[in-house]
């Protein structure tokens, strides 16, 4: 089968790879759609060696597919099921997994779960990572679930009050999903960041206001505060940059809940700012509520398909990453990789 493997930073090749085999708790998927995501771009570039320690490696996260085989212990999915997948493997047995908080699995073996290898024709995943798609959720929809799942996890920490404005900092793949999710849950949204088509797509995902950037790392907090005098109380950072986290602190209202999804070098706030404004700062590690995200799509409340600007076959995966990381990436939305026929 064909597989997209990384052989070094920015060195992505389509190669012939052995078919995966299911262990007792696994399922084999025929991958139908793959929509590269921020983490995939970071893995592809591997700046500072933070994401990949040994090459070659498979990668990818936001996928949909069809189950083609299951292990002996698997009862949750069957051959032929259309499915999406959580990004993080987990034990399924610990106290957090039993509560559904699978992204905070307590088993040390899953604190740094093995990187998914799904940019390929067939992939092995834990069956417990999979959710069966409602009939009216397409493979395209399901391959863009990550940002919505992340938003639902952040939501539990932001706890917006009824009608409260939510700020989403960063308008990439996760940001678009988060904007659409916050709108679906009935909240006004200010989206912050982006240039080119990326800011326009934030509008299409339902943002009431978009504050785009004119230059890289521009401080736009004054423009946000003009829209939200007194600051914003519920803030989700999706850019995983120092710029993004700085914007969060600058626009934070007294009592604000700030949720960061990436790992910036440091938090740009003094202890006094945190105390004086009684800020609550949360980390959010991917998410776990795949079924909730699928219900929002099935109910017609979220449609991220307008963010798809390119559609390419698996053979052109290297070109997709060149587009996503190239000088004109500001005019690239989601790239949908048609790995196999729906």
Contact 133, 316 (CB under 8 A): no
Q: Which of 88, 89, 105, 210 binds Zn ion (CB under 5 A)?
A: 105
Query: Six-digit token pair at 168?
Result: 């989403």
Q: Which stretch binds Zn ion (CB under 5 A): 20-28, 69-77, 82-90, 258-266?
A: 82-90
Residues 170 and 244: beta-carbon distance below 8 Å: yes
Write the burial class of residue 138 (CB in 10 Å: 0-12 exposed, 13-18 middle, 19+ buried): middle
Minimum CB distance to Zn ion, residue 150 (Å): 19
Check residue 97 for interaction with Zn ion (CB under 5 A): yes
Which stretches of the chain are DSSP H helices?
38-45, 95-98, 139-142, 146-158, 173-184, 196-204, 221-227, 242-251, 271-276, 290-298, 317-325
> Could you tell me which stretch among 22-30, 102-110, 122-130, 289-297 binds Zn ion (CB under 5 A)?
102-110
91 in contact with Zn ion (CB under 5 A): yes
Q: Does 104 bind Zn ion (CB under 5 A)?
A: no
> Looking at 106-114, 219-227, 228-236, 297-305, which segment touches Zn ion (CB under 5 A)?
106-114
What phi and psi, each to the nearest 5 degrees, are found at residue 218? Answer: -65, 140
Min separation Cβ 19 and Zn ion, Å: 28
Choose between 83 and 97: whose C-beta lies nearer to Zn ion: 97
For the bound state, the minimum distance from the C-beta of residue 46 to Zn ion, rounded and expressed in Å, comes to 28
Minimum CB distance to Zn ion, residue 69 (Å) = 24
Kind plus residue range of the DSSP H or E element containing 67: strand 63-70
> Which of helix, strand or coil describes residue 82?
strand
CB of 96 to Zn ion, least distance (A): 6
> How many residues can be counted in the chain?
342
Report in angstroms how near the CB of residue 90 gets to Zn ion at its nearest. Answer: 5
Does 94 sit near Zn ion (CB under 5 A)? Answer: yes
29-37, 89-97, 241-249, 332-340 -> range binding Zn ion (CB under 5 A): 89-97
How far apart CA 188 and CA 216 sit, in angstroms, is 26
Q: Which residue has the tokens 């052989």?
A: 7
Looking at the Cβ atoms of 20 and 113, the one nearer to Zn ion is: 113
Q: Which is nearer to Zn ion, 42 or 94 (CB)?
A: 94
Q: Which stretch binds Zn ion (CB under 5 A): 18-26, 42-50, 103-111, 265-273?
A: 103-111
Nearer to Zn ion, 104 or 144 (CB): 104
Q: Name the one residue in this structure whose structure tokens are 């799509």.
A: 297
CA-CA distance, 73 to 87, in Å (whole number)?
A: 21
Q: Which residues bind Zn ion (CB under 5 A)?
A: 90-91, 94, 97, 105, 107
């Amino acid at each position: 089968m064909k597989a997209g493997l990384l052989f070094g930073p920015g060195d992505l090749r389509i190669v012939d790879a052995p078919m995966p085999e299911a262990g007792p708790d696994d399922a084999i998927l025929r991958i139908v759609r793959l929509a590269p995501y921020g983490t995939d771009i970071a893995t592809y570039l591997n700046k500072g060696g933070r994401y990949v320690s040994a090459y070659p490696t498979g990668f990818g996260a936001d996928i949909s597919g069809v189950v083609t085989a299951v292990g002996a212990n698997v009862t949750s999915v069957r051959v032929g099921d259309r499915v999406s997948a959580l990004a993080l493997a987990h034990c399924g047995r610990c106290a957090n997994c039993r509560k559904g908080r699978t992204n905070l699995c307590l088993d040390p073996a899953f604190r740094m779960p093995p990187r998914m290898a799904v940019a390929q024709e067939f992939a092995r995943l834990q069956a417990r990572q999979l959710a069966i798609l409602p009939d009216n959720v397409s493979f395209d929809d399901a391959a863009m679930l990550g940002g919505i799942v992340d938003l639902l996890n952040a939501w539990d920490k932001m706890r917006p009050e009824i009608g409260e404005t939510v700020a989403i900092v960063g308008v990439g793949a996760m940001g678009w999903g988060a904007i659409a999710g916050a709108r679906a849950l009935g909240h006004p949204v200010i989206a912050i960041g982006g240039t080119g088509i990326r800011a326009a797509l934030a509008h299409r995902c339902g943002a009431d206001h978009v504050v785009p950037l004119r230059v890289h790392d521009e401080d736009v907090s004054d423009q946000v505060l003009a829209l939200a005098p007194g600051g914003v109380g519920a803030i989700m950072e999706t850019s995983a940059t120092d710029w993004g986290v700085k914007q969060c602190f600058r626009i934070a209202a007294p009592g604000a809940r700030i949720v960061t999804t990436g790992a910036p070098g440091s938090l740009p706030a003094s202890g006094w700012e945190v105390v004086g404004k009684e800020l609550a700062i949360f980390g959010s590690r991917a998410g776990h509520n795949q079924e909730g995200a699928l219900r929002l799509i099935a109910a017609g409340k979220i449609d991220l398909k307008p963010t798809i600007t390119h559609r390419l076959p698996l053979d052109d995966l290297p070109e997709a990453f060149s587009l996503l990381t190239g000088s004109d990436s500001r005019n690239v939305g989601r790239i949908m990789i048609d790995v196999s026929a729906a």
